[in-house]
Amino acid sequence: MPSKSIKAIDFFCSIGGMTKGFRSAGVNVVAGIDIDPSCRETYEWNNPTSKFIEADIKKLSFRRLKKIADIKANDDKLVFIGCSPCQYWTIINTDKRKSKSSRNLLSDFQRFVVHFKPGFVVVENVPGIMKRKRASGLSSFIKSLTTMNYAVSYGVLNANHFGVPQNRRRFVLIASRIVMVTLPKGDPSKGPTTRDFIGTWNGFAKISAGHRDTTNFIHTTCHLSENNLKRIRLTKTNGGTREAWKKNESLQIKAYDKKDDSFKNVYGRMHWDKPAPTITTRFNSLSNGRFGHPVEDRALSLREGATLQTFPRNYAFKEKSINKIARFIGNAVPPKMAGKIGRSIKFALNK
């Protein structure tokens, strides 16, 4: 059981990736807050001692949070975690219109930090937030922390250096007003690979595209069109790309014709002995990245994506929509990386 000596509130908790990681580090995550009610069942099922607070933090009052989570201001052993939705600040070239409403969530989180002044503050986001510090609110957030005498450490970390089998670069900030803090130090030489986590030898049965697994293991894959099946069958196993079928007029995609360097990874297969690419919200789709299975003629299954995100095998996703589960998984903080952050805080506090 997590220690009760350190409490944490997980803002923008979604299905609980950060909560699970902090709990594994012995931190008592007393509550997770999210605006999406469909996260509740998955969050509570897997984190039974953490309350799910369904709320828009733009409207959530300090009094309500204090009462529900049983927290107080100026608590040295309180941690506020803010992993706000980050699509608007991603460096990936995507349509930002849908995510525009979430672009100022860091400033909304800042309001709670200023009021409660917890002992520790953690922020996790996309690296793109650093490229536009002023527009994203990061400059204001850091200035606010330093004004309140928080020691602040931040930078971009690769989750692979912390035991996560994917190249996933993330902005991480840790601040404290009671001790000096530093970011956890990873080990690039020990980064795990795809082979370490999935494959038949890791308990993943061989399946085909369109397979449905109705158990909690959800080894479920998306259907592939006839042309996409032909494409992946022609794609070299263990790291092959779409170059294998670029000269086939019936299979070549017009947008990529004579553009081998554009979106080079789409329709590609993953490598067994390299880290997986960043698991995105569409990791179960062959056309959205290098998400083809290394040897089987299909894209990743839901459970494979969750495992590459380091969710425990028994983490149950209480949602019926395949695409929504994929979105939840892709947006999550890998629990293993979250655990490293949680342990770095406990270490700083106990020095």
Whole-prediction pTM value?
0.93
Map out the domains of the chain with their CATH numbers. Answer: 3-185+335-350 (3.40.50.150), 198-309 (3.90.120.10)
Residue keyed to tokens 């019926």 = 320
pLDDT in tens, the chain (351 residues): 455 589 999 999 999 999 999 999 999 999 999 999 999 999 999 999 999 999 999 999 999 999 999 999 999 999 999 998 855 434 444 444 554 545 578 999 999 999 999 999 999 999 999 888 888 899 999 999 999 999 999 999 999 999 999 999 999 999 999 999 899 999 999 999 999 999 999 999 999 999 999 999 999 999 999 999 999 999 999 999 999 999 999 999 988 887 777 788 999 999 999 999 999 999 999 999 999 999 999 999 999 999 999 999 999 999 999 999 999 999 999 999 999 999 999 999 887
Query: What pLDDT is stored for residue 89 in this prediction?
Result: 39
Query: What pLDDT is stored for residue 132 in this prediction?
Result: 82
Cα separation, 107 vs 113, in Å, equals 10
What single-letter amino acid sits at 149? N
What is residue 185's DSSP assignment?
A: P
CB-CB contact of 307 with 313 (8 Å): yes
CA-closest candidate to residue 211, choices 281, 293, 318, 268: 293
Query: What pLDDT is stored for residue 131 in this prediction?
Result: 86
Query: What pLDDT is stored for residue 96 in this prediction?
Result: 41
Query: What pLDDT is stored for residue 91 in this prediction?
Result: 43
Annotated active-site residue 13? The verdict is no
Segment holding 172, helix H or strand E: strand 169-176
- Helices 138-147 and 105-116 cross at an angle (nearest 10°) of 10
Query: What pLDDT is stored for residue 80 in this prediction?
Result: 98
From the list 13, 39, 83, 86, the catalytic residue is 86
Query: What pLDDT is stored for residue 98 in this prediction?
Result: 54
CB-CB contact of 266 with 259 (8 Å): no
